[in-house]
Amino acid sequence: MNTIKTLLTISIFINSNALMANNLPSGEQVAKNINARNEGISQSRNMQMILTDKRGKKRIRETISYRKYFGDEKRTVIHYLTPRNVKKTAFLTFDYPDANKDDDQWLYLPAMRKVRRISASDRGDYFLGTDFTYEDIKKESKVTLEDYTRKTLREEALNGNPGYVIEATPVNSEVADELGYGKVIQWVDKNIWMTRKSEFYDVRGKLLKTTLFKDIKQIDTIWTAHRLEVDNHKTGHKTVFVFTDVVYDKEVRDDFFTQRAMRRGL
């Protein structure tokens, strides 16, 4: 009888674990939920970039950025306001829904007074001295479905926020080289479908950097991270983005996303 009870208990335990595993949403589904999260048609915000090197020396940049959807096409422009040596630098990107189409990017350098067309293919290059890559900046709280295969590792709360831990692996070595990542582990809040933490591993599998999405608050019903922190474990460099005056769906002029507006500045 005891043997039967033991077998029954083991059987129930195994089945319940299997059931739990089956109840976990797939990695792809989590990614789709992340991307389905509303982020408004347009957004404007101030962004402070705090760049700290391994010796603790800080560089601080103040910027203002605008983002707007034109149909499925997302356009973003960032204007640097301070310090003086980067003031009036502007970065414009057109992010197309077609994954096979490279984005278009322009950089305005005030010392040249010219808008330069720049290649968008090096998505893994770091953005203007930060620890975010151009791809990170572009996707921000969203993810690219085509670049990774994903699996849900487990359900796990982070700082009291229930969620799932997702492992994303580049679809091939070419994409891995392009992005600069061999693997990404994400902690995704299952109530608001926002990533709260990411660990990025290089193509050799070594932990490269950790990103934390903090101070997440609702602005006009849209969940918004107001602080992003990246620790680059390889270089000891750290980048913090602090967002203020975040406004959604206020009128943002279409012509803000033009080379003409980059030259004029704000």
Q: Is 122 in the site for another protein (CB under 8 A)?
A: yes
Residue with tokens 């609702």: 218
Nearest-angstrom CA–CA distance, 261 and 266? 8
Angle at 141 between CA 202 and CA 199, to 5 degrees: 25
Residue of the chain from 121, 159, 172, 173 that contacts another protein (CB under 8 A): 121
Tokens of 47: 């962004």
Q: Using the minimum distance from each CB to another protein, give the nearer residue, 28 or 229.
A: 229
Out of 71, 84, 100, 191, the only residue in the binding site for another protein (CB under 8 A) is: 84
**Residue 204 interacting with another protein (CB under 8 A):** no
Q: State in angstroms the smallest separation of the CB of 66 from another protein.
A: 14
- Closest to another protein by CB, 59 or 190: 59
Size of the site for another protein (CB under 8 A): 39
State yes or no: residue 162 binds another protein (CB under 8 A). Answer: no
- Identify the bridge partners of residue 58 per DSSP, sorted by sequence position: 52
Among 104, 140, 155, 202, binds another protein (CB under 8 A): 104
| Residues from 29 through 58 that contact another protein (CB under 8 A) | 51, 53, 57
Q: Would you tell me which residues interact with another protein (CB under 8 A)?
A: 51, 53, 57, 59-61, 82-85, 87, 102, 104, 110-114, 116-122, 124-126, 128-131, 235, 237, 255, 258-260, 264
